Structure 1
Amino acid sequence: GPHMVIRAEKMEAVTHLAASISHEIRNPLTAARGFIQLIEEQPLAADKRRQYARIAIEELDRAEAIITDYLTFAKPAPETPEKLNVKLEIERVIDILRPLANMSCVDIQATLAPFSVIGEREKFRQCLLNVMKNAIEAMPNGGTLQVYVSIDNGRVLIRIADTGVGMTKEQLERLGEPYFTTKGVKGTGLGMMVVYRIIESMNGTIRIESEIHKGTTVSIYLPLASSPSSSTISDKEKQLFAAL
């Protein structure tokens, strides 16, 4: 039957994140450089040259995958939490992923509502991107990606469901560990780890249900950003009124 894992707010802090990333990116780049150097320096047989070039390309692709999982939206400047319109943010990410979806014959169906949450825009997009990209990649032979937004017990619920390959109970439990991946050489495992960290930072929870050959559903629960009621007046406003 379907397996389920719920991640609470508090995950183990991954303190050596930046160090491990630069290490992970440097390794494939060093390897790629080495093979390109071999091609450049030695007179090689055509098949050897092709083999080295292919390895170099694979290593560069690996470096790129790590950057995508992590840093698509990363900005060097510190971000500030702001009110985010869930509908607009999801639409933006769907636009970015549409070419990938089309390539995989994945139909995206979105039922969105403009609820607001508090968070850092780039990080929130990164989080949505990673979850939706996983969903699309779980459907190599096509399928449907459903994105649905609603309110559940006073929290904003973002549900992202695919009709893909699904995961075993063991895979589901290890999801979010750095370098644990269900994608073979293409995956880094960093994408889901980032998702957990971002949702945790937004005081949210994540619930994932999966069944082999049936698909996976990721439910993200976030606090609803309350609209400022007119009765609360800021200090600055008080000063203005006092000056009148």
Structure 2
Amino acid sequence: KRNRFFTNLIFIPPISFALITNYILRAFGDHDSWRYNTDMIIISFSFFIVSLFKYGILHIRLNIHRLYWKQSMQSIFIGTAMLNHKLKNDISKLQLFCRRMEQYANEQHDNELLSNIQNIQEVVQHLQATLSKFQSKITFRSSEKKRENMEEVMEESISSIRHMLNQIQIETNYDSTIILYCDKQQFKEVFVNMILNAIEAMPNGGTIKVHFQESFRYHIIQISDTGTGIDKQTLPHIFEPFFTTKRAKSKNYGIGLTYCCYVVQQHGGFIEVESEKCGTTFSLKFPKYSFLK
């Protein structure tokens, strides 16, 4: 609606002004008013430029964001591959040294040294597990797309984390049957990520609402929570790679929503976020014409 409003505000005034000065006023004998058309065009063009960068006109701003996310994800892939390779090499060296030290400690019957070596091995195993988990979060396998019923995908996603709900209720409302040509596993990961975010936003319990609907142009999947919401300063950054508001002890790496945004965009859609003090709503929108396969 806002996009349509600004589009009309840009095009209707100069067109109306041109019609009035070129035809109506001229019919009443005013033959000089048309000279002001240039001023009106300059004003409208200036407003267009400002609106383009601040709000987005004709979805041009959306395309700029998509390019930004694509470049961000490519940077993550390259940086993580280098980091992963380096850490794996160092962990392998640590394991080798631990085995040699363990062999020496057994020969010397040094129980204190053996205990210290076991502590080091536990730390190494923890590093391996953390590295594997981190790698799984940012590794995108090749897509295996086919027609999928989103209701079934959502129900499977909810079932996989139902044990984590505790005092949280999930309400589902499938007003619309949504069939997308997509990668089922990637969409399950997206739904799980978003539901987990909603759970973390409600430490004292609450309600998560899942709503399927459609507009004239879009299939819409909404996931809402009744948590504390996201403040205005944080909201523009939530999809940025490695951005997180979680505590340092949290296992959150700040890439969950980045992953969701990337997957949705790879399937031709986009995500809108609305947040107030009483909760947050994520709307995943997919153009209908993109899923006619």
Report the TM-score when normalising by structure 2.
Answer: 0.60
Counterpart of 1:92 in structure 2 is 156
1:106 to 146, 168, 174: 168
Q: Deviations over 1:67-98 (max 9, x none)?
A: 46445xx54xx334322211111111111121
Counterpart of 1:138 in structure 2 is 201
Q: Deviations over 1:37-84 (max 9, x none)?
A: 88x87947x9x999979976875675465346445xx54xx3343222
Please tell me whether residue 149 in structure 1 is matched to residue 212 in structure 2. Answer: yes
Instruction: State the 1:148 CA deviation.
Output: 0.6
Contact kept, 8 Å, 2:273 with 2:283, in 1: the verdict is yes
Task: Indicate how the Cα distance of structure 1 residues 22 and 226 shifts in structure 2: closer, same or farther if over 3 A, else same.
Answer: closer
Aligned length: 217
Counterpart of 2:191 in structure 1 is 128
Instruction: State the 1:15 CA deviation.
Output: 1.4
Please tell me whether residue 196 in structure 1 is matched to residue 255 in structure 2. Answer: no
Counterpart of 1:8 in structure 2 is 62
Instruction: State the 1:133 CA deviation.
Output: 1.6
Q: Aligned AA for 2:74?
A: T
Instruction: State the 1:156 CA deviation.
Output: 0.8
Please tell me whether residue 66 in structure 1 is matched to residue 129 in structure 2. Answer: no
Q: Secondary structure at the match of 1:8?
A: helix
Q: Aligned AA for 1:109?
A: E
Q: Deviations over 1:184-212 (max 9, x none)?
A: 23321211111111111111121111234
CA RMSD, aligned part only? 3.7
Please tell me whether residue 19 in structure 1 is matched to residue 96 in structure 2. Answer: no
Cα distance in 2 between the residues matched to 1:64 and 1:165: 32
Task: Indicate how the Cα distance of structure 1 residues 162 and 85 shifts in structure 2: closer, same or farther if over 3 A, else same.
Answer: same
Q: Deviations over 1:139-195 (max 9, x none)?
A: 222211111101123311100001123221121111111111111233212111111
Report the TM-score when normalising by structure 1.
Answer: 0.70
Task: Indicate how the Cα distance of structure 1 residues 62 and 107 shifts in structure 2: closer, same or farther if over 3 A, else same.
Answer: farther
Cα distance in 1 between the residues matched to 2:202 and 2:121: 29
Task: Indicate how the Cα distance of structure 1 residues 153 and 54 shifts in structure 2: closer, same or farther if over 3 A, else same.
Answer: farther
Contact kept, 8 Å, 1:70 with 1:126, in 2: the verdict is no
Give the structure with the higher percent strand.
Answer: 1
Contact kept, 8 Å, 1:203 with 1:223, in 2: the verdict is yes
Instruction: State the 1:22 CA deviation.
Output: 3.9
Q: Secondary structure at the match of 2:283?
A: strand
Q: Aligned AA for 1:111?
A: N
Task: Indicate how the Cα distance of structure 1 residues 11 and 175 shifts in structure 2: closer, same or farther if over 3 A, else same.
Answer: farther
Give the structure with the higher percent helix.
Answer: 2
Cα distance in 2 between the residues matched to 1:184 and 1:86: 33
Please tell me whether residue 224 in structure 1 is matched to residue 283 in structure 2. Answer: no
Identical residues among aligned pairs (%): 24
Contact kept, 8 Å, 2:272 with 2:284, in 1: the verdict is yes
Cα distance in 1 between the residues matched to 2:196 and 2:82: 24
Instruction: State the 1:27 CA deviation.
Output: 7.8
Unpaired runs of at least 5, structure 1 = 230-244
Instruction: State the 1:21 CA deviation.
Output: 3.1
Cα distance in 1 between the residues matched to 2:168 and 2:124: 30
Task: Indicate how the Cα distance of structure 1 residues 101 and 55 shifts in structure 2: closer, same or farther if over 3 A, else same.
Answer: farther
The structure with more radius of gyration: 2
Counterpart of 2:279 in structure 1 is 215
Instruction: State the 1:11 CA deviation.
Output: 3.9
**The 10-residue stretch of structure 1 (120-129 or 154-163) with the greater mean CA deviation from structure 2:** 120-129
Unpaired runs of at least 5, structure 2 = 1-54, 106-111
Q: Aligned AA for 1:201?
A: Q
Q: Aligned AA for 2:227?
A: G
Counterpart of 1:83 in structure 2 is 147
Counterpart of 2:246 in structure 1 is 183
